[in-house]
Homo-oligomer: A and B are copies of this chain.
Amino acid sequence: MSKEITSMKEDYSQWYNDLVIKAGLADYSAVRGCMVIKPYGYALWENMQRQLDTMFKETGHENAYFPLFVPKSLFEAEEKNAEGFAKECAIVTHYRLKADPDNKGKLMVDPEAKLEEELVVRPTSEAIIWSTYKGWIQSYRDLPLLINQWANVVRWEMRTRLFLRTTEFLWQEGHTAHATEKEAIDETVQMLNVYATFAESYMALPVIKGVKSANERFAGALDTYCIEALMQDGKALQAGTSHFLGQNFAKAFDVKFTDKENKLDYVWATSWGVSTRLIGALVMAHSDDQGLVLPPKLAPIQVVIVPIFKGQEQKQLIDEKVSVLLQQLKAAGISVKYDDNDNNRPGWKFAEYEMKGVPVRIAIGARDLANNVVEVARRDTKEKMSFSIDGLSGQVITLLAEIQQAIYTKAKNFRDNLVTEANQWDEFVKLLDEKAGFISAHWDGTGETEDKIKELTKATIRCIPLDNKQEEGKCILTGNPSTQRVLFARAY
Protein backbone atom coordinates (compact mmCIF):
# COMPACT_ATOMS: atom_id res chain seq x y z
CA MET A 1 0.00 0.00 0.00
CA SER A 2 1.34 3.36 -1.01
CA LYS A 3 -0.77 5.39 1.37
CA GLU A 4 -0.17 4.55 4.99
CA ILE A 5 -1.47 6.61 7.81
CA THR A 6 -0.48 6.79 11.45
CA SER A 7 -2.58 4.38 13.49
CA MET A 8 -5.29 5.74 15.74
CA LYS A 9 -3.77 4.10 18.79
CA GLU A 10 -0.33 5.45 18.17
CA ASP A 11 -1.37 9.08 17.76
CA TYR A 12 -5.03 9.94 17.32
CA SER A 13 -4.36 13.51 16.33
CA GLN A 14 -1.79 12.54 13.70
CA TRP A 15 -4.11 9.75 12.47
CA TYR A 16 -6.76 12.40 11.84
CA ASN A 17 -4.46 14.77 9.98
CA ASP A 18 -3.00 11.97 7.88
CA LEU A 19 -6.43 10.69 7.02
CA VAL A 20 -7.83 14.06 5.96
CA ILE A 21 -4.86 14.60 3.66
CA LYS A 22 -4.50 11.06 2.30
CA ALA A 23 -8.20 10.61 1.64
CA GLY A 24 -8.10 13.81 -0.40
CA LEU A 25 -10.59 15.74 1.73
CA ALA A 26 -8.51 18.85 2.27
CA ASP A 27 -5.07 20.35 2.02
CA TYR A 28 -3.10 22.98 3.86
CA SER A 29 -2.92 26.36 2.15
CA ALA A 30 -0.48 29.23 1.83
CA VAL A 31 -2.71 31.29 4.10
CA ARG A 32 -2.24 30.96 7.83
CA GLY A 33 -4.95 28.75 9.34
CA CYS A 34 -6.95 28.45 6.11
CA MET A 35 -7.42 25.17 4.29
CA VAL A 36 -8.21 24.13 0.76
CA ILE A 37 -11.26 21.88 0.56
CA LYS A 38 -10.38 19.38 -2.16
CA PRO A 39 -12.98 17.97 -4.59
CA TYR A 40 -13.66 14.82 -2.57
CA GLY A 41 -14.13 16.80 0.66
CA TYR A 42 -16.23 19.37 -1.14
CA ALA A 43 -18.46 16.65 -2.65
CA LEU A 44 -19.11 15.47 0.91
CA TRP A 45 -19.96 19.05 1.91
CA GLU A 46 -22.29 19.37 -1.08
CA ASN A 47 -24.18 16.27 0.04
CA MET A 48 -24.47 17.65 3.56
CA GLN A 49 -25.56 21.04 2.23
CA ARG A 50 -28.17 19.56 -0.05
CA GLN A 51 -29.82 17.63 2.77
CA LEU A 52 -29.65 20.47 5.29
CA ASP A 53 -30.95 22.96 2.73
CA THR A 54 -33.91 20.68 2.02
CA MET A 55 -34.66 20.44 5.73
CA PHE A 56 -34.41 24.22 6.16
CA LYS A 57 -36.80 24.79 3.27
CA GLU A 58 -39.21 22.18 4.59
CA THR A 59 -39.35 24.17 7.82
CA GLY A 60 -40.21 27.35 5.91
CA HIS A 61 -36.84 29.04 5.55
CA GLU A 62 -35.53 30.85 2.49
CA ASN A 63 -31.94 31.57 1.54
CA ALA A 64 -30.51 35.05 1.07
CA TYR A 65 -27.07 36.64 1.00
CA PHE A 66 -25.68 39.48 3.11
CA PRO A 67 -22.36 41.34 2.79
CA LEU A 68 -19.04 39.78 3.80
CA PHE A 69 -17.97 43.01 5.47
CA VAL A 70 -19.38 44.57 8.62
CA PRO A 71 -18.59 48.25 9.21
CA LYS A 72 -16.98 48.61 12.65
CA SER A 73 -19.78 50.85 13.93
CA LEU A 74 -22.34 48.12 13.23
CA PHE A 75 -20.09 45.38 14.53
CA GLU A 76 -19.81 47.05 17.92
CA ALA A 77 -23.52 47.83 18.29
CA GLU A 78 -24.43 44.68 20.22
CA GLU A 79 -21.78 44.94 22.90
CA LYS A 80 -21.61 41.36 24.13
CA ASN A 81 -21.48 39.98 20.63
CA ALA A 82 -18.77 42.49 19.69
CA GLU A 83 -16.76 41.71 22.80
CA GLY A 84 -16.99 37.99 22.07
CA PHE A 85 -15.61 38.25 18.57
CA ALA A 86 -13.37 41.35 18.70
CA LYS A 87 -10.25 39.35 19.52
CA GLU A 88 -10.44 37.15 16.45
CA CYS A 89 -11.46 39.43 13.58
CA ALA A 90 -9.76 40.04 10.28
CA ILE A 91 -9.94 43.77 9.57
CA VAL A 92 -9.93 45.46 6.17
CA THR A 93 -8.31 48.88 6.48
CA HIS A 94 -7.34 49.74 2.88
CA TYR A 95 -8.81 49.30 -0.59
CA ARG A 96 -5.87 49.57 -2.94
CA LEU A 97 -2.34 48.34 -3.58
CA LYS A 98 0.24 50.29 -5.53
CA ALA A 99 3.67 49.64 -7.01
CA ASP A 100 6.32 49.61 -4.29
CA PRO A 101 8.89 52.24 -5.31
CA ASP A 102 11.62 50.45 -3.34
CA ASN A 103 10.93 46.97 -4.73
CA LYS A 104 10.59 46.57 -8.47
CA GLY A 105 7.72 44.24 -9.39
CA LYS A 106 6.35 44.28 -5.85
CA LEU A 107 3.24 45.90 -4.47
CA MET A 108 2.53 47.76 -1.26
CA VAL A 109 -0.61 48.91 0.50
CA ASP A 110 -1.43 52.39 -0.77
CA PRO A 111 -1.49 54.59 2.36
CA GLU A 112 -3.75 57.03 0.52
CA ALA A 113 -6.40 54.35 0.16
CA LYS A 114 -7.18 54.08 3.85
CA LEU A 115 -10.82 53.48 4.69
CA GLU A 116 -12.59 56.06 6.79
CA GLU A 117 -14.26 53.27 8.68
CA GLU A 118 -12.64 49.87 9.01
CA LEU A 119 -14.53 46.80 7.84
CA VAL A 120 -14.67 43.59 9.85
CA VAL A 121 -14.68 40.38 7.81
CA ARG A 122 -17.79 38.67 9.23
CA PRO A 123 -17.06 36.17 12.00
CA THR A 124 -20.86 35.76 12.17
CA SER A 125 -23.57 37.93 10.60
CA GLU A 126 -26.01 39.01 13.32
CA ALA A 127 -24.84 42.63 13.13
CA ILE A 128 -25.03 43.10 9.38
CA ILE A 129 -28.28 41.16 9.15
CA TRP A 130 -30.09 42.93 11.98
CA SER A 131 -29.02 46.32 10.63
CA THR A 132 -30.75 45.19 7.40
CA TYR A 133 -33.83 43.71 9.09
CA LYS A 134 -34.52 47.16 10.51
CA GLY A 135 -35.55 48.23 7.02
CA TRP A 136 -37.63 45.12 6.39
CA ILE A 137 -39.74 44.90 9.53
CA GLN A 138 -42.46 47.35 10.39
CA SER A 139 -45.46 45.32 11.47
CA TYR A 140 -46.41 41.84 12.65
CA ARG A 141 -47.34 41.14 9.01
CA ASP A 142 -43.62 41.17 8.17
CA LEU A 143 -43.00 38.43 10.74
CA PRO A 144 -41.77 35.80 11.09
CA LEU A 145 -38.77 36.41 8.88
CA LEU A 146 -37.14 33.03 8.32
CA ILE A 147 -33.85 33.42 6.50
CA ASN A 148 -30.77 31.28 6.07
CA GLN A 149 -27.43 32.11 4.50
CA TRP A 150 -24.73 29.79 3.12
CA ALA A 151 -21.47 31.67 3.47
CA ASN A 152 -17.83 31.81 4.44
CA VAL A 153 -16.83 33.37 7.76
CA VAL A 154 -13.48 34.25 9.29
CA ARG A 155 -12.36 33.86 12.89
CA TRP A 156 -8.73 34.48 13.63
CA GLU A 157 -8.02 31.30 15.58
CA MET A 158 -4.63 30.85 17.21
CA ARG A 159 -4.50 27.05 16.90
CA THR A 160 -6.09 25.60 13.82
CA ARG A 161 -6.85 22.06 12.60
CA LEU A 162 -8.19 20.94 9.24
CA PHE A 163 -12.02 21.20 9.28
CA LEU A 164 -12.25 21.33 13.10
CA ARG A 165 -10.94 24.84 13.56
CA THR A 166 -9.85 26.94 10.62
CA THR A 167 -9.47 30.69 10.22
CA GLU A 168 -11.93 30.70 7.35
CA PHE A 169 -14.71 28.15 7.23
CA LEU A 170 -17.90 27.51 5.31
CA TRP A 171 -21.18 27.34 7.14
CA GLN A 172 -24.83 28.18 7.10
CA GLU A 173 -26.30 30.69 9.49
CA GLY A 174 -30.03 31.01 10.04
CA HIS A 175 -31.29 34.37 11.29
CA THR A 176 -34.95 34.59 12.16
CA ALA A 177 -37.17 37.36 13.52
CA HIS A 178 -40.37 36.77 15.47
CA ALA A 179 -43.26 38.63 17.06
CA THR A 180 -43.18 36.75 20.35
CA GLU A 181 -40.69 35.25 22.74
CA LYS A 182 -42.40 31.88 22.61
CA GLU A 183 -42.27 31.70 18.84
CA ALA A 184 -38.55 32.52 18.88
CA ILE A 185 -37.83 29.85 21.50
CA ASP A 186 -39.89 27.32 19.53
CA GLU A 187 -37.84 28.16 16.43
CA THR A 188 -34.58 27.75 18.37
CA VAL A 189 -35.65 24.31 19.54
CA GLN A 190 -37.04 23.33 16.14
CA MET A 191 -33.70 24.04 14.46
CA LEU A 192 -31.83 22.16 17.18
CA ASN A 193 -34.03 19.20 16.35
CA VAL A 194 -33.33 19.60 12.63
CA TYR A 195 -29.60 19.47 13.40
CA ALA A 196 -30.02 16.43 15.65
CA THR A 197 -32.03 14.61 12.98
CA PHE A 198 -29.44 15.45 10.37
CA ALA A 199 -26.56 14.29 12.59
CA GLU A 200 -28.21 11.03 13.55
CA SER A 201 -30.05 10.05 10.36
CA TYR A 202 -27.53 11.25 7.79
CA MET A 203 -24.15 11.51 9.50
CA ALA A 204 -24.92 8.38 11.58
CA LEU A 205 -23.65 10.44 14.49
CA PRO A 206 -25.47 10.07 17.83
CA VAL A 207 -25.78 13.41 19.59
CA ILE A 208 -26.94 14.69 22.94
CA LYS A 209 -29.22 17.70 22.82
CA GLY A 210 -28.75 20.23 25.54
CA VAL A 211 -28.31 23.80 26.65
CA LYS A 212 -24.98 25.50 27.23
CA SER A 213 -23.98 26.94 30.58
CA ALA A 214 -23.73 30.74 30.69
CA ASN A 215 -19.94 30.57 30.24
CA GLU A 216 -20.22 28.68 26.99
CA ARG A 217 -23.09 30.67 25.51
CA PHE A 218 -22.83 32.40 22.13
CA ALA A 219 -21.85 36.03 22.68
CA GLY A 220 -25.09 37.98 22.63
CA ALA A 221 -27.47 35.04 23.19
CA LEU A 222 -29.82 34.48 26.10
CA ASP A 223 -29.61 30.73 25.58
CA THR A 224 -27.48 28.50 23.40
CA TYR A 225 -28.84 25.07 22.54
CA CYS A 226 -26.37 22.54 21.16
CA ILE A 227 -25.85 19.03 19.94
CA GLU A 228 -22.79 17.28 21.36
CA ALA A 229 -21.13 14.25 19.81
CA LEU A 230 -18.37 11.96 20.98
CA MET A 231 -15.25 11.19 18.95
CA GLN A 232 -13.38 7.87 19.06
CA ASP A 233 -10.70 9.26 21.37
CA GLY A 234 -13.39 10.03 23.94
CA LYS A 235 -13.32 13.78 23.36
CA ALA A 236 -16.55 15.64 22.77
CA LEU A 237 -17.30 17.80 19.77
CA GLN A 238 -19.96 20.48 19.51
CA ALA A 239 -21.68 19.69 16.23
CA GLY A 240 -24.21 22.50 15.95
CA THR A 241 -25.72 25.36 17.91
CA SER A 242 -29.05 27.17 17.93
CA HIS A 243 -29.30 30.44 19.79
CA PHE A 244 -32.22 32.22 21.38
CA LEU A 245 -31.12 35.84 21.12
CA GLY A 246 -34.05 37.44 22.94
CA GLN A 247 -34.40 41.09 21.95
CA ASN A 248 -30.69 41.86 22.21
CA PHE A 249 -30.06 42.49 18.54
CA ALA A 250 -33.42 44.18 18.00
CA LYS A 251 -32.48 46.63 20.76
CA ALA A 252 -28.96 47.14 19.46
CA PHE A 253 -30.28 47.93 15.96
CA ASP A 254 -33.60 49.44 17.01
CA VAL A 255 -35.79 46.92 15.20
CA LYS A 256 -39.37 47.41 16.38
CA PHE A 257 -42.70 46.25 15.01
CA THR A 258 -46.34 47.11 15.63
CA ASP A 259 -48.25 44.10 16.86
CA LYS A 260 -51.89 43.23 16.17
CA GLU A 261 -52.98 45.56 18.96
CA ASN A 262 -50.96 48.33 17.33
CA LYS A 263 -48.42 48.37 20.13
CA LEU A 264 -44.75 48.86 19.38
CA ASP A 265 -42.31 46.20 20.58
CA TYR A 266 -38.81 44.95 19.86
CA VAL A 267 -38.52 41.90 17.63
CA TRP A 268 -37.42 38.51 19.02
CA ALA A 269 -34.51 36.72 17.37
CA THR A 270 -32.78 33.40 16.85
CA SER A 271 -29.67 32.33 15.00
CA TRP A 272 -28.33 28.84 14.32
CA GLY A 273 -25.47 27.32 12.41
CA VAL A 274 -23.44 24.33 11.41
CA SER A 275 -20.20 24.40 9.50
CA THR A 276 -17.58 22.42 7.60
CA ARG A 277 -16.50 21.36 11.10
CA LEU A 278 -19.12 18.62 10.67
CA ILE A 279 -16.80 17.00 8.14
CA GLY A 280 -14.17 16.72 10.87
CA ALA A 281 -16.77 15.18 13.18
CA LEU A 282 -17.78 12.67 10.53
CA VAL A 283 -14.16 11.62 9.98
CA MET A 284 -13.34 11.35 13.68
CA ALA A 285 -16.49 9.46 14.64
CA HIS A 286 -16.44 6.57 12.21
CA SER A 287 -13.10 6.09 10.47
CA ASP A 288 -10.34 3.55 11.16
CA ASP A 289 -6.69 2.88 10.41
CA GLN A 290 -7.46 1.93 6.82
CA GLY A 291 -9.13 5.25 6.13
CA LEU A 292 -12.50 6.92 6.07
CA VAL A 293 -15.75 5.16 6.90
CA LEU A 294 -18.55 7.21 5.38
CA PRO A 295 -22.27 6.79 5.97
CA PRO A 296 -23.89 5.82 2.64
CA LYS A 297 -26.38 8.69 2.78
CA LEU A 298 -23.56 11.22 2.51
CA ALA A 299 -20.84 9.32 0.66
CA PRO A 300 -19.91 11.01 -2.65
CA ILE A 301 -19.38 7.55 -4.14
CA GLN A 302 -21.61 4.87 -2.60
CA VAL A 303 -20.43 1.94 -4.69
CA VAL A 304 -17.22 1.35 -6.59
CA ILE A 305 -16.85 -1.46 -9.11
CA VAL A 306 -13.38 -2.85 -9.79
CA PRO A 307 -12.76 -5.28 -12.67
CA ILE A 308 -10.38 -8.21 -12.11
CA PHE A 309 -9.11 -9.60 -15.38
CA LYS A 310 -6.32 -11.09 -17.39
CA GLY A 311 -6.17 -9.88 -20.97
CA GLN A 312 -8.43 -7.68 -23.03
CA GLU A 313 -10.87 -10.45 -23.86
CA GLN A 314 -11.87 -10.91 -20.23
CA LYS A 315 -11.90 -7.15 -19.75
CA GLN A 316 -14.33 -6.69 -22.60
CA LEU A 317 -16.76 -9.26 -21.22
CA ILE A 318 -16.63 -7.58 -17.82
CA ASP A 319 -17.09 -4.12 -19.37
CA GLU A 320 -20.22 -5.27 -21.14
CA LYS A 321 -21.78 -6.70 -18.00
CA VAL A 322 -20.73 -3.72 -15.90
CA SER A 323 -22.25 -1.23 -18.31
CA VAL A 324 -25.62 -2.91 -17.71
CA LEU A 325 -25.07 -2.97 -13.95
CA LEU A 326 -24.06 0.70 -13.92
CA GLN A 327 -27.30 1.64 -15.63
CA GLN A 328 -29.33 -0.38 -13.15
CA LEU A 329 -27.53 1.00 -10.11
CA LYS A 330 -27.78 4.60 -11.34
CA ALA A 331 -31.45 4.12 -12.15
CA ALA A 332 -31.90 3.01 -8.53
CA GLY A 333 -30.42 6.36 -7.41
CA ILE A 334 -27.08 4.90 -6.35
CA SER A 335 -23.91 6.92 -6.85
CA VAL A 336 -21.57 4.43 -8.50
CA LYS A 337 -18.13 4.57 -10.06
CA TYR A 338 -16.50 2.03 -12.36
CA ASP A 339 -12.76 2.20 -11.93
CA ASP A 340 -11.20 0.45 -14.90
CA ASN A 341 -8.14 2.68 -14.93
CA ASP A 342 -5.27 0.64 -16.37
CA ASN A 343 -2.58 2.43 -14.43
CA ASN A 344 -3.46 0.86 -11.08
CA ARG A 345 -3.80 -2.73 -10.00
CA PRO A 346 -6.87 -4.06 -8.15
CA GLY A 347 -5.03 -4.25 -4.80
CA TRP A 348 -4.05 -0.61 -5.07
CA LYS A 349 -7.64 0.31 -5.90
CA PHE A 350 -9.03 -1.69 -2.98
CA ALA A 351 -6.76 0.20 -0.60
CA GLU A 352 -7.55 3.53 -2.26
CA TYR A 353 -11.32 3.14 -1.91
CA GLU A 354 -10.95 1.92 1.65
CA MET A 355 -9.01 5.10 2.31
CA LYS A 356 -11.78 7.13 0.70
CA GLY A 357 -14.46 5.33 2.70
CA VAL A 358 -16.58 4.13 -0.21
CA PRO A 359 -19.26 2.07 1.61
CA VAL A 360 -19.54 -0.80 -0.89
CA ARG A 361 -16.90 -2.25 -3.18
CA ILE A 362 -17.86 -4.68 -5.91
CA ALA A 363 -15.17 -6.77 -7.55
CA ILE A 364 -16.02 -8.63 -10.71
CA GLY A 365 -13.81 -11.18 -12.45
CA ALA A 366 -14.17 -13.65 -15.30
CA ARG A 367 -15.06 -16.51 -12.98
CA ASP A 368 -17.66 -14.39 -11.19
CA LEU A 369 -19.18 -13.62 -14.54
CA ALA A 370 -19.39 -17.33 -15.35
CA ASN A 371 -21.14 -17.92 -12.01
CA ASN A 372 -23.39 -14.88 -12.44
CA VAL A 373 -22.16 -13.36 -9.17
CA VAL A 374 -20.04 -10.48 -7.93
CA GLU A 375 -17.88 -10.16 -4.84
CA VAL A 376 -19.17 -7.48 -2.51
CA ALA A 377 -17.15 -5.96 0.34
CA ARG A 378 -18.55 -3.54 2.89
CA ARG A 379 -16.20 -0.85 4.09
CA ASP A 380 -17.45 -0.61 7.66
CA THR A 381 -17.03 -4.25 8.75
CA LYS A 382 -14.73 -5.33 5.89
CA GLU A 383 -17.04 -8.32 5.51
CA LYS A 384 -17.08 -9.94 2.07
CA MET A 385 -20.01 -11.66 0.46
CA SER A 386 -21.22 -12.92 -2.86
CA PHE A 387 -24.25 -11.33 -4.53
CA SER A 388 -26.11 -12.69 -7.52
CA ILE A 389 -25.91 -10.39 -10.53
CA ASP A 390 -29.66 -10.77 -10.93
CA GLY A 391 -31.39 -8.07 -8.93
CA LEU A 392 -28.06 -6.63 -7.80
CA SER A 393 -29.33 -3.09 -7.34
CA GLY A 394 -32.02 -4.18 -4.89
CA GLN A 395 -29.47 -6.07 -2.81
CA VAL A 396 -27.11 -3.10 -2.87
CA ILE A 397 -29.85 -0.73 -1.72
CA THR A 398 -30.57 -3.04 1.21
CA LEU A 399 -26.89 -3.31 2.03
CA LEU A 400 -26.38 0.47 1.95
CA ALA A 401 -29.25 0.89 4.39
CA GLU A 402 -27.76 -1.80 6.63
CA ILE A 403 -24.39 -0.07 6.60
CA GLN A 404 -25.95 3.29 7.43
CA GLN A 405 -27.68 1.70 10.42
CA ALA A 406 -24.63 -0.31 11.49
CA ILE A 407 -22.37 2.75 11.53
CA TYR A 408 -24.89 4.61 13.66
CA THR A 409 -25.38 1.71 16.06
CA LYS A 410 -21.65 1.24 16.50
CA ALA A 411 -21.14 4.93 17.25
CA LYS A 412 -24.14 4.91 19.58
CA ASN A 413 -22.90 1.92 21.56
CA PHE A 414 -19.48 3.51 21.80
CA ARG A 415 -20.96 6.78 23.01
CA ASP A 416 -23.45 5.20 25.44
CA ASN A 417 -20.62 3.26 27.01
CA LEU A 418 -18.77 6.50 27.62
CA VAL A 419 -21.38 8.41 29.57
CA THR A 420 -20.35 7.80 33.16
CA GLU A 421 -21.58 9.21 36.42
CA ALA A 422 -19.04 10.58 38.85
CA ASN A 423 -19.83 11.54 42.42
CA GLN A 424 -16.41 12.31 43.88
CA TRP A 425 -13.74 14.69 42.64
CA ASP A 426 -11.02 12.02 42.56
CA GLU A 427 -13.26 9.75 40.57
CA PHE A 428 -14.05 12.60 38.18
CA VAL A 429 -10.37 13.34 37.53
CA LYS A 430 -9.49 9.67 37.18
CA LEU A 431 -12.32 9.04 34.72
CA LEU A 432 -11.23 11.95 32.57
CA ASP A 433 -7.79 10.45 32.18
CA GLU A 434 -8.73 6.81 32.00
CA LYS A 435 -12.17 6.49 30.47
CA ALA A 436 -12.85 9.94 29.04
CA GLY A 437 -16.16 10.43 27.25
CA PHE A 438 -18.96 12.37 28.92
CA ILE A 439 -18.95 12.52 32.69
CA SER A 440 -22.28 13.18 34.29
CA ALA A 441 -21.77 15.06 37.52
CA HIS A 442 -23.39 17.57 39.80
CA TRP A 443 -22.39 21.19 39.47
CA ASP A 444 -23.29 24.11 41.68
CA GLY A 445 -24.35 26.26 38.73
CA THR A 446 -21.71 28.98 39.05
CA GLY A 447 -19.34 30.18 36.35
CA GLU A 448 -16.51 30.29 38.89
CA THR A 449 -16.76 26.56 39.60
CA GLU A 450 -16.95 25.83 35.88
CA ASP A 451 -13.80 27.91 35.28
CA LYS A 452 -11.99 26.22 38.12
CA ILE A 453 -12.85 22.74 36.84
CA LYS A 454 -11.66 23.70 33.38
CA GLU A 455 -8.43 25.07 34.80
CA LEU A 456 -7.78 21.92 36.83
CA THR A 457 -8.80 19.31 34.26
CA LYS A 458 -9.33 20.95 30.85
CA ALA A 459 -12.86 19.56 30.99
CA THR A 460 -15.77 21.87 30.22
CA ILE A 461 -19.49 21.59 30.64
CA ARG A 462 -20.62 20.37 27.24
CA CYS A 463 -24.29 20.82 27.99
CA ILE A 464 -27.15 20.50 30.38
CA PRO A 465 -29.17 17.81 28.58
CA LEU A 466 -32.71 18.74 27.58
CA ASP A 467 -35.37 17.16 29.81
CA ASN A 468 -32.63 16.52 32.36
CA LYS A 469 -33.61 14.49 35.39
CA GLN A 470 -33.84 16.72 38.47
CA GLU A 471 -32.15 15.23 41.50
CA GLU A 472 -30.60 16.54 44.68
CA GLY A 473 -26.84 16.31 44.82
CA LYS A 474 -23.56 18.00 45.69
CA CYS A 475 -21.29 19.82 43.27
CA ILE A 476 -18.41 17.59 42.20
CA LEU A 477 -15.87 20.33 43.00
CA THR A 478 -17.31 22.53 45.73
CA GLY A 479 -19.80 20.20 47.39
CA ASN A 480 -22.39 22.96 47.22
CA PRO A 481 -25.97 21.88 46.64
CA SER A 482 -27.03 21.06 43.07
CA THR A 483 -30.34 20.09 41.51
CA GLN A 484 -29.14 18.22 38.43
CA ARG A 485 -26.20 16.55 36.76
CA VAL A 486 -24.55 18.14 33.74
CA LEU A 487 -22.24 16.60 31.13
CA PHE A 488 -18.55 17.35 31.36
CA ALA A 489 -15.91 16.37 28.83
CA ARG A 490 -12.68 17.39 27.26
CA ALA A 491 -13.63 18.70 23.88
CA TYR A 492 -12.51 19.75 20.43
Interface, chain A (partner B; CB < 8 A)? 27, 29-31, 34-39, 41-43, 45-46, 62-72, 74-76, 79, 82, 86-99, 105-107, 109, 118-121, 128, 131-132, 135-136, 141, 147, 151-152, 154, 156, 168, 170, 343
Q: Which residue of B lies closest to A93 (CB)?
A: B93
Contact A39 B147 (CB under 8 A): yes
Pair B95/A92 contact, Cβ less than 8 Å: no
* Cβ contact of A31, chosen from B43, B71, B170, cutoff 8 A: B71
Given A31-B67, A43-B62, A67-B29, A90–B97 Cβ distance below 8 Å? no
Chain B residues with CB under 8 A of A75: 97, 107
Query: CA of A27 to CA of B147 in the docked complex: distance in angstroms?
Result: 15
CB atoms of B64 and A106 under 8 A apart:
no
Q: Among B39, B93, B141, which residue has its beta carbon within 8 angstroms of that of A91? A: B93
The distance in angstroms between the C-alpha atoms of A90 and B113, with both chains bound, is: 10
Known contacts A72-B107, A86-B107, A90-B94; can you find 19 more A-B pairs with CB under 8 A? A29-B132, A30-B128, A36-B64, A36-B65, A36-B67, A37-B65, A45-B65, A46-B63, A68-B121, A68-B154, A76-B105, A76-B107, A82-B107, A86-B96, A89-B96, A91-B94, A91-B109, A92-B93, A93-B94
A141 vs chain B, min Cβ distance (A): 7
Alpha-carbon distance between A94 and B119 when the two chains are bound, in angstroms: 11
State the CA gap A82–B76 with chains docked (Å).
Answer: 34
Known A-B contacts A68-B34, A69-B168; the reply to A343 vs B128 at CB < 8 A is no
Q: Which residue in B88, B96, B107 is a CB contact (below 8 Å) of A95?
A: B88
How many copies of this protein are present in the complex? 2
The 9 closest A-B pairs by CB, nearest first: A39-B62, A34-B67, A37-B65, A86-B97, A95-B156, A91-B94, A31-B67, A93-B93, A90-B92
A97 to B79 alpha-carbon distance, docked (Å)? 13
When distances are taken between beta carbons in the complex, the residues of chain B under 8 Å from A64 are: 36-39, 41-42
Contact at B92–A36, with CB atoms within 8 Å?
Answer: no
Would B96 and A27 count as touching, CB distance under 8 A?
A: no
Q: Is the interface of A mostly helix, strand, loop or mixed?
A: mixed
Asked if A31 and B128 sit within 8 Å, CB to CB, the answer is: yes
User: Closest Cβ of chain B: how far from A313's Cβ, in Å?
Assistant: 26
Answer whether A63 and B91 are a contact pair too, CB < 8 Å, given A34-B69, A68-B168, A105-B76.
Answer: no
Asked if residues B36 and A132 are in contact (CB atoms below 8 Å), the reply is yes
Instruction: Name which residue of chain B comes closest to A135, CB basis.
Output: B27
- In the bound complex, residues from chain B placing their C-beta under 8 Å from that of A91 are 92-97, 109
Q: List 9 A-B contacts (CB under 8 A).
A: A30-B132, A31-B119, A35-B67, A69-B90, A79-B105, A86-B97, A88-B96, A90-B119, A92-B121
Closest CB of chain B to A42's CB: distance in Å?
A: 5
Bound-state Cα–Cα, A352 to B202, Å: 40
Contact B141 A343 (CB under 8 A): yes
- Whether the Cβ atoms of B89 and A72 lie closer than 8 Å is no
Which of B42, B70, B152 is within 8 Å of A63, CB to CB? B42
Known: A90-B92, A95-B88, A156-B95. A39 touches B66 (CB 8 A): no
Task: Tell me whether B89 and A62 are in contact (CB under 8 A).
Answer: no
Distance, CA A131 to CA B34, complexed state (A):
14
* Contact across chains for B128 and A71 when beta carbons are under 8 A apart: no
Contacts of A72 in B (CB 8 A): 97, 107
